[in-house]
Amino acid sequence: MEQAPRVVSAAKPKKRAVKAAAKPAALKAKAKNPPAPAGAPVRGSAPTASRSAGTQQVAPVRSSKAGVRRKRSAAARPKSDITLARFAVGDVVRHKVYPFRGVIFDIDPVFANTEEWWLSIPEKVRPGKNQPYYHLLAENAETEYIAYVSEQNLVHDTTGAPVRHPQVSEYFIEDEEGRYRPVFMTMLN
C-alpha cells in the first residue's frame, strides 16, 4: 500500500524550552518585570514636573504599607474610549427634557440602535453616539412603553413613586426601601 508523501515545512526548527530552575536569578527578574519604554515612569515612582523644557523626572512614591499599590494619577492612567455608565440596572431615572420616567433594565456602552432611529431625532437635540444608552421600562401620564435614552438626557428620579410599567415584576423585585433589584440577582442570595 502506498503512503501519501509527507509535507515538510521549511520553517526554522523550534527551540527547546529552558527550565525555569536553570535560569539565573537576574534573568527571572527581568522576565517578570520587562524594561519600561523610554520616558515611562519607573514602578514605585511617580512623575513630577520639571522646570526644564518638557522633561519629566521621577520621584519615589512612599507607601505606609509594604506591597500596597497606590492609585495612579489621572495623567498617568492610560486613556480609553470606554465611558463608565452613570446609572445601573434597577435605577429609576427620568428624562431631562420630556415628561417620562422609568426603571433601567439594560445598558449599551455606546449607541446600538439603527441609524434610521438616530437620524429621526432632530439634529439640534440629537445626542452623541459615544456614550452609554439605557433601555427603560418607561411611563408617562398616559401610557407605559420601552424607551431607549442616552445618558446625557437622564437624571435620577427622586420622587420615590413606584414604576407602574406592567413588565417591572418580570425583571425586578422591589425591596423594602423601594429599590428595584434584578430578578436574576435575587437568585444569588
Which CATH number belongs to the domain containing residue 129 in this structure? Answer: 2.30.30
Looking at residue 187, its amino acid is: M
- Do 122 and 43 lie in a common domain? no
Pair 122, 151 in one domain: yes
Q: Which of 48, 75, 102 is where one domain is finished?
A: 75
- 44 shares its domain with 122: no
Handedness of CA 117, 119, 120, 125 (dihedral sign): positive
Helix/strand/coil for 136: strand
Supply the pLDDT for residue 11.
46
**63 and 111 assigned to the same domain:** no
Within this chain, do residues 111 and 160 fall inside the same structural domain, yes or no? yes
Domain-embedded: residue 17: no
Give the pLDDT mean for 152-164.
96
Q: Is 28 helix (H, G, I), strand (E, B) or coil?
A: helix
Same domain, 67 and 104: no
Say if 84 falls within a structural domain: no
Q: Evaluate whether residue 149 is within a structural domain.
A: yes
Q: What is the mean pLDDT of the chain?
A: 73
Specify the number of domains making up the chain. Answer: 2
Domain that holds residue 133: 92-186
The pLDDT tens digits of the residues spanning 30-85 come to 444 444 444 444 444 444 443 444 444 444 444 445 555 555 555 555 666 667 99
Residues 119-143 have pLDDT tens digits of 999 998 899 999 999 999 999 999 9
In angstroms, the CA 175 to CA 168 distance is 13
Same domain membership, residue 180 and residue 99: yes
Model confidence at 172, pLDDT cuts 50, 70, 90, reads very high
Q: Is 74 helix (H, G, I), strand (E, B) or coil?
A: coil
Q: Specify whether 97 is located in the same domain as 64.
A: no
Q: Is residue 16 part of a domain?
A: no
* 86 is a domain residue: no
Q: How many CB atoms lie within 10 A of CB 86?
A: 15
- 179 by DSSP, 3-state: which? coil
Residue 120 shares a structural domain with residue 176: yes
Q: Would the pTM count as exceeding 0.95?
A: no
Query: Is the distance from CB of 136 to CB of 149 less than 8 angstroms?
Result: yes
